C-alpha cells in the first residue's frame, strides 16, 4: 500500500508517473476489498471505476474544477485519492467515511448524493453559475477557469431527470464534460431500449477494435487535435456498425441530438488512453460526452463473475484454493462466503409476494432497477410474464402500474421508501386521483444504517397521507407482512402501501396468532383492562417497545398495540384510551412531522378529545448520518431505553405533544 498511503490529496497523485498508476489502482482495489469484507458496502461499482477515477484526478484539479457524481455509490476510489484513507477503516459509520459523496467530509464532494439521474442537472447548474460569476474555463480568456465534469452510469442515463439535464446541457456555450461509465449494469442488469443500444455497441465486432483505433489516434493526431480526430475516426467506426445494423441507425448519434459531441467508447481500464483523452477533453470548449467502457467488479474475480451479487454485499470471507492459498484476489481460485445476517424483511417479502401471485393470477408486480434489493428477483423468475424491472425509472414504473390497474390487474410496486419520493407526482395524478388500486411495498422504510441520510425512508407516510383515499400500513414482523400483503391484494378502492425496514424480522410475537388486517383497526399485543399507559407502535419498532415495557417490570401496567394503519388510524381505540385518561405514547420509525403520531393527534382533535396526554416519538427534524441502524435509533431517541423513559414520564403526568430535538456534540436525539 506504499503508493496509496503516499496520497494525501490529488496533487500527490499528479507526482506519480503514468507507469506507476496501475500499481496504485491495484492497491486501491485491495484496500476496498479488505474493508468491505469486514464491514460490507458497495464493492463492484467501486472496483469498476478505479482507473477512470485515477485518470480524472490525474488530469483535472477537482479542488478547483467541478466533479459531480451520479448515484454516488462509486465514490470510494475518489475518496481515497482525496485524503480519506484514514477514514476507510470505519466505513459507513459516523466516525468514518460515508458510503456516498458527503460535503461534510471534504471540499472535493460537492453534493450529498444517493439517487440516480441528478449529476448532469446539478453540473449544468454549476456550469451556469461559473459563467455568471465569470469563473468558467475559456481557452482564450480564462484558461485557468473552472471546468465541469459529470460522471454518470449508463443505467442512470435513462432516468428522466438525466434526460432533462442532457436537454439543457446541449445549450451550454462552454466546456462541459459528461463521462458516461458504460459497464453494462446498474445495480442489476439494465433494462429498456437505451440499455439495448449500449449492448449493441458492446457486442458489435467493431468494438473490439476501438481500443486499437484509439491508440492509433493517439499516435497520429497532432497536438490539440486528439478529440476532433478521435471523433472523426470513432464516427467512421460507428458508420460501419450502421451498415451492418441499419435499424439501429439514428441511435448511434443519440447524444448529438442533444447538442453534445460524442466520443468513444474507449477502454475505461486503459489508464494511458484515459489520461490522453481526458487531457484533450479538458481543453474542449463545447459540451461533450466521453463514452467509457468499464467492467463492474473489475480486477477481483468473484466480483466480476457476479457483479449483481457483489454490488453492495454484507461482510464476507475470502476463500482461496487450498492448493494455492496465496493466490491473488484476481485469480479464479478465489471465492467468497457471505456472512449470514439472518432472515431479512426483504427475504420475507420475496416469499410473501410469490404466495400472493400464486393465489391470484390478476396480481402483477414491478421494481425499478432493484430486483435483488427489493426481493423481486425470485418472483421474476417464477412469473416472468407478470413481473417487470423498469430500470431506474420510478415515475414510469408508477404510471405503468396505474395503466395495469386501469386494465383490470392488481399491481404491486416494490420500491425503496427513499425512491418512492421520485414517483410521488405519479402516485398523486395517475393513481390516487383516478381512484386506482396500485399497491406500494416500501422496503428500507425508516432508518437504513450505513447508507445514511441519502437513503433514509423518513417521509413516505407524510407524503402518502395527503392523498385522498390512500391506505397506509406497516409490518412488525413476517406474519404481519404476509397479512398486510393479503389485505392489500383485495383492497381495490385506491392506493395502498405497506412499509418495512432494512432489518431482520423479529420473532418476539411469533408465538401469537397473527389476525388478518381489518381496515383501520389496530391489533392488541399486550392489553390491560385499566392500563397505566398505552403504547401505539406503527411498524417494526414494536420489538423495541416490547423490550421497553419488559424493562419497566410489574410496577406499571402498559398496553401495547400494533397500530397497523397510519391512514386511517384506529379512531375508536384512540377515543377509548383518551376518554379513560390513559397516557398514550406513539412510536414510529418515521419523521414525527406528518407521521403516524401526527395522525393520532389529528384524530383526537377531530373527535374533540384532550390530546395533552399523547406523546409522539418519531425521527427528529434533523439529518441522521451514516452508522449502524441500532446506533441511529439510539441517536434518534427511539431505542428501548428511550421508549421506557417516555412511558415513565407519561405516567408521571409529563406527557406533552411534539418532539424536542436535543443536540449533544453534534449528535441528534428526539425526546417527545
* Average pLDDT along the chain, 672 residues, taken 10 residues at a time: 92 95 96 93 93 97 96 94 95 93 94 92 95 94 96 83 91 94 63 47 40 44 49 46 39 69 89 94 92 91 84 81 54 60 92 97 95 94 96 94 97 97 96 97 96 95 98 97 98 98 92 94 96 97 97 93 98 98 97 98 97 96 95 96 97 58 41 40
| Cα–Cα distance for residue pair 148/155, rounded to 1 Å | 21
| Cα–Cα distance for residue pair 413/393, rounded to 1 Å | 12
Q: How far is CA 8 from the centre of its chain?
A: 29
Sheet bearing 387-389, strands edge to edge: 387-389, 363-367, 410-416, 439-443, 496-499, 471-474, 565-567
pLDDT of residue 186: 45
pLDDT of residue 551: 96
Is-catalytic flag, 602? Answer: no
**Contacts for 17 with CB less than 8 Å, ≥ 6 apart:** none
Are 263 and 277 within 8 A, CB to CB?
yes
Are 329 and 376 within 8 A, CB to CB?
no
**Contacts for 38 with CB less than 8 Å, ≥ 6 apart:** 315
Q: Which of helix, strand or coil describes residue 151? A: strand
Q: What are φ and ψ of residue 100, in 5° steps? A: -130, 165
Is-catalytic flag, 386? Answer: no
Give me the helices (H) in 502-587, please. Answer: 542-551, 571-579
pLDDT of residue 330: 56
| H/E run at residue 153 | strand 148-153
Question: Annotated catalytic residue: which of 422, 439, 502, 615?
Answer: 422
For the domain spanning 357-499, the CATH number is 3.40.50.970
What is 523-671's CATH topology? Answer: Rossmann fold (3.40.50)
- 40-56 per-residue burial string, b: 16 or more CB within 10 A, e: under 16: bbbbbbbbbbbbbbbbb
Going from N- to C-terminal start, the domains of the chain cover 2-293, 357-499, 523-671
Short-list 257, 252, 256, CA closest to 239: 252
| Cα–Cα distance for residue pair 623/607, rounded to 1 Å | 34
HSE-up of residue 317 (Cα within 13 Å, Cβ side): 4
Q: What are φ and ψ of residue 656, in 5° steps? A: -150, 150
CATH fold match for the domains 2-293 and 357-499: yes
Q: Which of helix, strand or coil describes residue 545? A: helix
pLDDT of residue 563: 98
Rg, the chain, Cα only: 27
- Encode 60-123 in three state secondary structure: CCCCCCEEEECCCCCCHHHHHCCCCHHHHHHCCCCCCCCCCCCCCCCCCCCCCCCCCCCHHHHH
Is-catalytic flag, 422? Answer: yes
The three three-digit cell numbers of residue 262, written as one number: 460524442
Question: Annotated catalytic residue: which of 276, 354, 394, 503?
Answer: 394
Instruction: Could you list the beta-strand ranges (E) of 381-443.
Output: 387-389, 410-416, 439-443
What is 2-293's CATH topology? Answer: Rossmann fold (3.40.50)
Question: Annotated catalytic residue: which of 29, 296, 502, 567?
Answer: 296
pLDDT of residue 661: 37
| Cα–Cα distance for residue pair 231/517, rounded to 1 Å | 62
Angle at 67 between CA 62 and CA 68, to 5 degrees: 160
User: Which pTM does this prediction carry?
Assistant: 0.84
Are 487 and 439 within 8 A, CB to CB?
no
The three three-digit cell numbers of residue 503, written as one number: 432489518
Are 41 and 626 within 8 A, CB to CB?
no
Beta strands 335-338 and 363-367: pairing type?
unpaired
CA distances from 307 to 46, 448, 455 (A): 11, 22, 21
pLDDT of residue 305: 82
Amino acid at each position: 500500500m506504499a503508493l496509496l498511503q503516499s496520497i494525501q490529496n490529488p496533487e500527490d497523485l499528479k507526482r506519480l508517473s503514468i507507469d506507476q498508476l496501475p500499481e496504485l489502482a491495484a492497491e486501491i482495489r485491495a484496500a476496498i476489498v479488505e474493508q468491505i469484507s469486514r464491514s460490507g458496502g458497495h464493492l463492484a461499482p467501486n472496483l469498476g471505476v478505479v482507473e477512470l477515477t485515477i485518470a480524472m484526478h490525474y488530469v483535472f484539479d477537482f479542488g478547483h474544477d467541478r466533479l459531480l457524481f451520479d448515484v454516488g455509490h462509486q465514490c470510494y476510489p475518489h475518496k481515497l485519492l482525496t485524503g480519506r484513507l484514514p477514514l476507510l477503516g470505519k466505513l459507513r459509520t459516523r466516525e468514518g467515511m460515508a458510503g456516498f459523496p458527503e460535503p461534510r467530509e471534504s471540499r472535493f464532494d460537492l453534493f450529498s448524493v444517493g439517487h440516480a439521474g441528478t449529476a448532469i442537472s446539478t453540473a449544468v447548474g454549476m456550469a451556469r453559475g461559473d459563467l455568471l460569476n465569470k469563473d468558467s474555463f475559456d481557452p482564450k480568456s480564462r484558461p485557468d477557469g473552472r471546468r465541469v465534469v459529470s460522471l454518470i452510469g449508463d443505467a442512470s442515463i435513462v432516468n428522466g431527470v438525466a434526460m432533462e439535464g442532457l436537454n439543457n446541457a446541449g445549450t451550454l456555450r462552454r466546456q462541459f464534460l459528461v463521462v458516461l461509465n458504460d459497464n453494462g449494469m446498474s445495480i442489476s442488469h439494465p433494462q429498456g431500449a437505451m440499455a439495448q443500444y449500449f449492448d449493441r455497441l458492446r457486442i458489435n465486432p467493431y468494438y473490439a477494435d476501438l481500443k486499437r483505433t484509439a491508440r492509433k489516434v493517439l499516435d497520429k493526431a497532432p497536438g490539440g487535435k486528439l478529440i476532433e480526430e478521435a471523433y472523426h475516426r470513432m464516427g467512421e467506426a460507428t458508420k460501419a456498425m450502421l451498415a451492418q445494423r441499419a435499424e439501429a441507425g439514428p441511435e448511434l448519434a443519440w447524444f448529438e441530438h442533444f447538442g453534445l459531441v460524442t466520443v468513444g467508447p474507449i477502454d475505461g481500464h486503459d489508464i494511458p488512453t484515459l489520461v490522453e483523452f481526458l487531457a484533450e477533453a479538458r481543453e474542449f470548449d463545447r459540451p461533450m460526452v466521453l463514452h467509457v467502457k468499464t467492467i463492474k467488479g473489475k480486477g477481483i474475480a468473484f466480483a466480476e463473475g457476479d457483479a449483481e451479487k457483489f454490488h453492495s454485499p454484507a461482510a464476507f470471507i475470502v476463500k482461496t484454493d487450498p492448493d494455492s492459498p496465496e493466490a491473488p484476489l484476481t485469480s479464479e481460485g478465489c471465492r467468497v462466503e457471505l456472512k449470514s445476517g439472518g432472515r431479512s424483511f426483504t427475504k420475507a417479502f420475496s416469499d410473501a409476494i410469490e404466495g400472493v401471485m400464486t393465489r391470484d393470477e390478476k396480481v402483477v408486480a414491478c421494481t425499478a432497477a432493484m430486483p435483488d434489493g427489493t426481493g423481486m428477483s425470485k418472483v421474476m423468475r417464477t412469473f416472468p410474464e407478470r413481473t417487470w424491472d423498469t430500470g431506474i425509472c420510478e415515475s414510469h414504473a408508477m404510471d405503468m402500474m396505474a395503466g395495469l390497474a386501469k386494465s383490470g390487474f392488481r399491481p404491486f410496486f416494490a420500491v425503496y421508501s427513499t425512491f418512492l419520493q421520485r414517483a410521488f407526482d405519479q402516485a398523486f395524478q395517475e393513481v390516487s386521483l383516478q381512484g386506482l388500486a396500485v399497491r406500494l411495498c416500501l422496503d428500507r422504510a425508516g432508518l437504513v444504517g450505513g447508507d445514511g441520510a441519502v437513503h433514509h425512508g423518513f417521509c413516505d407516510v407524510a407524503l402518502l397521507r395527503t392523498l385522498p383515499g390512500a391506505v397506509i400500513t406497516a409490518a412488525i414482523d413476517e406474519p404481519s407482512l404476509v397479512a398486510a400483503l393479503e389485505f392489500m391484494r383485495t383492497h381495490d378502492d385506491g392506493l395502498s402501501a405497506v412499509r418495512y425496514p432494512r432489518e431482520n424480522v423479529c420473532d418476539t410475537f411469533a408465538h401469537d396468532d397473527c389476525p388478518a388486517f381489518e381496515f383501520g383497526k389496530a391489533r392488541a399485543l399486550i392489553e390491560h383492562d385499566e392500563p397505566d399507559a398505552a403504547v401505539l407502535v406503527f411498524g417494526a419498532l414494536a420489538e423495541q417497545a416490547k423490550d421497553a415495557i419488559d424493562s419497566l417490570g410489574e410496577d406499571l401496567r402498559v398496553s401495547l398495540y400494533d397500530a397497523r394503519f397510519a391512514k386511517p388510524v384506529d379512531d375508536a381505540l384512540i377515543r377509548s384510551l383518551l376518554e379513560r385518561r390513559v397516557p398514550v405514547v406513539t412510536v414510529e420509525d418515521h419523521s414525527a412531522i406528518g407521521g403516524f403520531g401526527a395522525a393520532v393527534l389529528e384524530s383526537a382533535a377531530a373527535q374533540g378529545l384532550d390530546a395533552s396526554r399523547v406523546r409522539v416519538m418519531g425521527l427528529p427534524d434533523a439529518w441522521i448520518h451514516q452508522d449502524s441502524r441500532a446506533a441511529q435509533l439510539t441517536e434518534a431517541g427511539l431505542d428501548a431505553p428511550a421508549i421506557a423513559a417516555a412511558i415513565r414520564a407519561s405516567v408521571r403526568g409529563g406527557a406533552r405533544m411534539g418532539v424536542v430535538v436535543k443536540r449533544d456534540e453534534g449528535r441528534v436525539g428526539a425526546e417527545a
